[in-house]
Amino acid sequence: MPIRMTAKHTNILKTFLNGSMRLAEFAITNECIAKCTFCDIWKQRPRQYVDREKGLQAIDKLADFGVAHITLTGGEPLLHPNIIDFAKKCNSRNIHTAVLDAAPSLITEPILDGLDEAKTDMLSISFDSDDPKVCEASRRIPDILNGIEDAVKRIKRTKIKSMASILIWNDNHDRMEKVFMKAIDMGFDHISVNYPTFSKSVLYPLGGEGISLNKPGVIKALQSVIEIKKMKKYPIVNSIASMENIIQYLTDPATVRYECLGGNRVMFVDWFLDVRPCMQLPQVLGNILTMTKDDFATEPCNRCNMSWYRDFSTFFHGVKSFPVYLESATSSRSLY
Ligand code: SF4
């Protein structure tokens, strides 16, 4: 089926061709009601929320810097009282927008209507296992699997696409296809795979017992995802080229084809509006409201395997990115 070009697609194409394209994760609050075993952000105090006016200015500034995709994240972005205003601002600047969610009870009907009206492109829901008890334990939210299933069904009445955001972890690493199958049975439109990452970041600590897989275990899981993707049965958004790159990184970091462009093409904007290469590194490049293009990082990085940053970085390596473009051209699922 031919892809209908929207103003957002045109913006992506235009910024890509003129070399200004960037992508940002914008963390609008550190509050979260899930208590995930892989992430400690829910313990943070004080609670921080991006101020509405400054958040809107920040999105304008990001658009001026060529940002064509924003992932609104947190904490839990749906807890921010101005989430719909931020989503509307993204739409007004033709920014392709995804909103992350870990607690499906927050996808209420008014929130869904607001995001739909704001022309949000994607709701990406954390999904850990096909086993309800495991899901409950990993997020510490009672009956979460039924909650996700209900939310995905309700998203279908809107134009928003749903995506299962699946972390490779101790529970699922040796049976990824079963988890993908469950996601599709539940009605998800897309699947994204997250690579397990540890971060000692003060801002955004990640890790925990649940992702104590060793490197060979992660590599094996990624190899299985690549094989499953080749079957073309599941709408997995991660490119094979990027997953192979992560396997290279885990095998011998010096041999990667695509280094990470965190702080240059991809970036993390925190709830203080400070721009960082990612949530891992302590370095602040500047405050989004005052920084200039000269403040962006100039050196690539190869210090971790974080999926969002590594996957999107593969698009910006000139002729080396050809395999990624080729995959994207044969799939309508390249941007998430
Ligand atoms: S490689 Fe990891 S640490 Fe380095 S910029 Fe990318 S996401 Fe951050």
pLDDT digits (tens, 9 = 90+) for 206-245: 666 677 788 899 999 999 999 999 999 999 999 999 999 9
pLDDT in tens, 44-55: 889 999 999 999
* Structural domain includes residue 16: yes
Cα–Cα–Cα angle for 144, 145, 149, rounded to 5 degrees? 115
**203-232 b/e (C-beta count within 10 Å ≥ 16 → b):** bbbbbbebbebeeebbbbbbebbbebbeee
pLDDT value of position 336 = 47
Nearest Cα to Cα of residue 142 among 130, 132, 151: 132
* Structural domain includes residue 1: no
Nearest Cα to Cα of residue 300 among 243, 245, 240, 241: 245
Residue 333's pLDDT band (boundaries 50, 70, 90)? very low
CATH number of the domain to which 304 belongs: 3.20.20.70
Number of folded domains in the chain? 1
Rounded to the nearest angstrom, the distance between the alpha carbon of 164 and the centre of ligand 1 is 23
Rounded to the nearest angstrom, the distance between the alpha carbon of 278 and the centre of ligand 1 is 6
Facing residues of 96 across strands? 69
* Structural domain includes residue 241: yes
pLDDT in tens, 232-289: 999 999 999 999 999 999 999 999 999 999 999 999 999 999 999 998 888 999 999 9
* Structural domain includes residue 2: no
Q: What predicted TM-score, i.e. pTM, was given to this entire model?
A: 0.94
- 252: domain range? 7-329
* Structural domain includes residue 94: yes
Report the run of H or E that residue 194 belongs to, with start and end: strand 190-194
Mutation choice for ligand 1 from 200, 206, 246, 260, CB with most ligand atoms inside 8 A = 260
* Structural domain includes residue 11: yes
Protein residues whose CB sits closer than 6 Å to any atom of ligand 1 = 260, 262, 277-278, 280-281, 301-304, 306, 309
Nearest Cα to Cα of residue 308 among 101, 70, 91: 70
Ligand 1 atom nearest residue 278's Cα: 8
pLDDT in tens, 124-144: 999 989 999 988 888 888 899
* Structural domain includes residue 336: no
Q: Which residue has the higher pLDDT, 231 or 4?
A: 231
* Structural domain includes residue 168: yes
Percent of the chain with pLDDT over 90: 76
Mutation choice for ligand 1 from 301, 308, 314, CB with most ligand atoms inside 8 A = 301
